[in-house]
Structure 1
Amino acid sequence: MSYCRAIESMSAERKALHKAYHDKLYGFPIHDDNELFCRLVLEINQAGLSWETILKKEAGFRNAYDNFDLKTVAAYTDADRERLLADAGIIRNRLKINAAIDNANTILRLSNEHGSFENWLDLHHPKPKEEWVKLFKKTFRFTGGEIVNEFLMSIGYLPGAHTDDCAVYSNVLDAKPKWAHDKP
Structure 2
Amino acid sequence: MSYCSAINQMQPGDRKTLHKNYHDNQYGFPIHDDNELFGRLILEINQAGLSWELILKKEEAFRKAYHNFNIKNIANYTEADRKRLLADAGIIRNRLKINAAIENAKTILVLQKQFGSFEKWLEFNHPKTKEEWIKVFKKTFRFTGGEIVNEFLMSIGFLPGAHSSDCEVHKKVLKAKPMWLKQNSIL
Q: Answer whether TM exceeds 0.5 for this pair.
A: yes
Instruction: Write the distance in 2 (CA, Å) between the matches of 1:36 and 1:109.
Output: 15
Partner of 1:71: 72
Contact 1:149-1:158 within 8 A present in 2 as well: yes
Q: AA paired with 1:6?
A: A
Gaps of 5+ in 2: none
State the Cα distance separating 1:181 from its structure 2 match.
3.7
- Counterpart of 2:4 in structure 1 is 4
Query: Is the 1:27–1:155 contact (alpha carbons within 8 Å) kept by the matching residues of 2?
Result: yes
Aligned in 2, Cα 1:45/1:179: closer, same or farther, shift over 3 Å? closer
CA contact (8 A) 1:173 1:181 kept: no
Once the two structures are TM-superposed, the CA of residue 11 in structure 1 deviates from its matched residue by 2.4
> Match of 1:30?
31
In structure 2, the residue corresponding to 1:168 is in which secondary structure?
helix
Structure 1 residue 10: deviation in Å?
1.3
Aligned equivalents of 1:177 and 1:35: distance in 2? 16
Residue 179 of structure 1 and its aligned partner are, at CA, apart by 8.0
Unaligned runs of 5+ residues in structure 1 are none
Q: Contact 2:29/2:178 (CA < 8 Å) preserved in 1?
A: no
Q: RMSD across aligned C-alpha pairs, in angstroms? A: 1.1
For the Cα contact (< 8 Å) 1:34–1:68, is it kept in 2?
yes
CA offsets 1:96-153 (integer angstroms, 9 cap, x no match): 0000000011111101100000000001111000000000000000000000000000
Note the alpha carbon deviations across 1:45-96, whole angstroms, 9 max, x for none. 0000000000000000000000000000000000000000000000000000
1:93 equivalent in structure 2: 94
Query: Is the Cα contact below 8 Å between 2:30 and 2:179 reproduced in 1?
Result: no
TM-score normalised to structure 1 length? 0.97
CA deviation vs aligned residue, 1:131-177 (integer Å, no higher than 9, x gap): 00000000000000000000000000001000110010010011016
- The one-letter amino acid of 1:160's match is G
| Cα distance in 1 for residues equivalent to 2:179 and 2:17 | 31
Q: Are the counterparts in 1 of residues 30 and 177 from structure 2 also a CA contact under 8 Å? A: yes
* Partner in structure 1 of residue 132 of structure 2: 131
Aligned mates of 1:146, 1:179 — CA distance in 2? 18
